[in-house]
Amino acid sequence: MIVRKFKDSTDICKMVKPYKKVAIIGCGGCYGEGGKPGVLKIEKLIKETGIEVVASGVTGRQCAWKDRASKKQLKDDDAIITLARTSERIKEADVLVSLACGVGVQSLTYFAGKKAVIPGFDTFFMGLPEGEVFKEQCIGCGNCILHLTGGICPIAKCPKSIMNGPCGGVLDNSCEVYPENNCIWIDIYNRLKDIGELENMKIINNPKDFSIRVHPRSIR
Amino acid sequence: MIFSKLMRSLKENKFTISGEIDPPKGADRTTIIEQAEYLKGHVIASNVTDNPLGIVIMNTLVPCFIMQNEVEIEAVYQVTCRDRNRIAIQSDILGAAALGLKNVLALTGDHPRMGDHPESKAVFDLDSVQLTKLLRIMIDEGTDMAGNKLKVAPKMHVGVGLSPGMRPLETELIKFEKKIRAGAEFSQTQVIYDSNILGELRDETKDCGIPILVGIAPLKSLGMAKFMAKHVPGVVIPDDIMQRLEKSTNLKETTIDITSELLRNIKEVGFSGAHIMPVGMDYAVGEIISRAGLK
């Protein structure tokens, strides 16, 4: 899932201040606060500033395009249909507040016409919830080595993205950079041992090809 | 082919001692000379650190050059992957070789979050194993990493780090073995105060095929000892050392005694040499070595 977090209330108020009529569009994708409770929270916040909220609702996944070039969306997640269903009054809005990740916000941008689009969230990473926190799992490096590392990614989970084993900064199994985390290479070692694949740790992993990671990336 | 005094000493199976100096925080050359002068005649070579902890100090190359040319102590040029991508590292290596540097220590480096510019972008284009492999390509193949021919290849010996206090130790040994396979020629370790760790390292590395210089650092004060035991990864300080520091009426003498005993022990256990990190006690390095009976 894409992990995102509400922007600060005062920042959201500041962003909507120049507009008169606001529509709030939640996102039903990736688990998080982009659904109905989040929409209601932001609606209340914006109404308190005296700005009119003309429409609010939750789409499917805001990012779910079948083909953005021809403006085809996946049927179940058709944001336009959902929006129209949410409220006819959405047409009156001069700004759309998107409660989605950065991808969802930009997805909305493509059919917002002359309406401005505002992000309600800051978008962080691809991750999973662990206890009270969300933790990054994948950086989308484009060259997966999870089969060699016991299904645990050192690129995303080691602050130095070391590909060949732990660094000298391990204190009581913990990472020196984020002491609340285990050294991921110790986790990888234990996992490889458990599944009888410790030999994989002995493979010298060559440097990553960063040429395939130049923004903005596109793949066929 | 042997390019450096350090490597020659190791190849001749002489007990070999290297030192270490820190570049200054400031555009000042005097502290470089001062630190190096204390080491002169006592060590065969001296490391120059590369912004340890990611703290901004002078570029490593400069003290390497000054020390080697003006004080005539051979440099071990520490190179980390923290701040430079593969382009910058290769270009620095070419420059270092042109300046006459003969030894390089390949390290991953501390994360910038540990230092005085935690906001800075960490690079880590390579890690220490990959850097070791890259250095071998430049030295042995005479090409850059992309396979382009270098007009003159660098002539240097490649060293690597080793953390004997790492637990589980096998994780570190696997990585160390990869560094050796990647082409490391010598190793310098994190400090060891504990004789059990020293013995264990000896047992685990006796057939590793490259010389190991075991790290030691004088414990200037009880405070420093306590700090290191608690906060420096992999460092274990035995109770008897703690007690001696605690009871000492002359801390400087006690510290020199303790360090020289550690040094002697490293030799007796059968290691190739020691790497002394003076951490502010540069003036005592000669005395430590002579008290160990290694002069």
Residues B210, B18: Cα–Cα separation, whole Å: 16
- Please say if the pLDDT value at position A75 is more than 60: no
Alpha helices in B67-213 (DSSP H): 86-98, 128-136, 169-182, 195-205
- List of residues 6+ apart from B34 with CB closer than 8 A: B282
**Per the CB < 8 Å rule, is B233 touching A176?**
yes
The C-alpha angle B136, B137, B141, rounded to 5 degrees, equals 115
Is the Cβ of B130 closer than 8 Å to some Cβ of chain A?
Answer: yes
Residue-wise pLDDT for B43-86, tens only, equals 999 999 999 999 999 999 999 999 999 999 999 999 999 999 99
The residues in B 31-50 lying below 8 A from A, measured between CB atoms, are: none
Q: Measured between beta carbons, which residues in chain A are less than 8 angstroms from residue B130?
A: 163-164, 204-207
Residue-wise pLDDT tens digits, A3-40: 999 999 999 999 999 999 999 999 888 877 888 899 99
Quick one: closest CA in B to A203, which residue?
B178
Distance from CA of A125 to the nearest CA of B (A): 17
What does pLDDT average to over chain B?
97
For domain A2-124, give its CATH number from 3.20.20.70, 3.40.50.2300, 3.10.129.10, 3.50.30.10: 3.40.50.2300
Which residue would you say has higher pLDDT here, A81 or B113? B113
Q: Which of A62-66, A154-158, B111-115, B218-222 has the weakest average pLDDT? A: A62-66
A206 closest CB neighbour out of B109, B130, B172: B130
Per the CB < 8 Å rule, is B108 touching A167? Answer: yes
ipTM summary value? 0.96
Mean pLDDT of the region B128-141: 98
CA A200 to chain B, closest CA, distance in angstroms equals 10
Q: Closest Cα to residue B90, out of B150, B7, B157?
A: B150
Question: What domains can you pick out in chain B, each with its CATH number?
Answer: 5-283 (3.20.20.220)
CA A49 to chain B, closest CA, distance in angstroms equals 35
Q: Report which of B81, B181, B59 is spatially closest to residue B131, judged by C-alpha positions.
A: B81
Asked if the C-beta of A219 comes within 8 angstroms of chain B's C-beta atoms, the answer is no
pLDDT, one tens digit per residue, over A83-137 is 655 667 888 999 999 999 999 999 888 878 889 999 999 999 999 999 989 999 9
Distance from CA of A164 to the nearest CA of B (A): 7
Task: Please report which confidence band the pLDDT of residue A69 belongs to, taking 50, 70 and 90 as the band edges.
Answer: low
* Section A200-218 average pLDDT: 94
HSE-CB of B44 using CA atoms within 13 angstroms: 20
In the predicted model, is pLDDT for residue B227 greater than 70? yes
CB-based contact, A69 to chain B, within 8 Å? no
Q: Is B87 on the interface with A (CB under 8 A)?
A: no
pLDDT, tens digit (0-9, with 9 covering 90-100), for B183-225: 999 999 999 999 999 999 999 999 999 999 999 999 999 999 9
Candidate from A164, A185, A186 with C-beta closest to B178: A164
Where do the structural domains in chain A lie, given as residue ranges?
A: 2-124, 139-212
CB contact under 8 A, B113 and A177: yes
CA distance B25 to chain A (A): 23
Is residue A209 within 8 angstroms of chain B, CB to CB?
no
Looking at per-residue confidence, does B33 or A68 come out higher? B33
Confidence check: pLDDT of A76 > 80: no
DSSP string, A114-133: TSEEEESEEEEEEEEEETTE
State whether residue B83 sits within 8 Å of chain A by CB: no
The pLDDT of residue A141 is above 90: yes
Would you state the pLDDT for residue A70?
Answer: 67
- The beta-carbon neighbor of A170 closest among B111, B113, B166 is B166
Three state DSSP letters for A153-183: CHHHHCCCCCCCCCCCCEECCEECCCCCCEC
Residues B101 and B77 sit within 8 Å (Cβ to Cβ): yes
Cβ distance A198 to A149 under 8 Å?
A: no
Using the Cβ of A163 and the Cβ atoms of chain B, whether some distance falls under 8 Å is answered with: yes
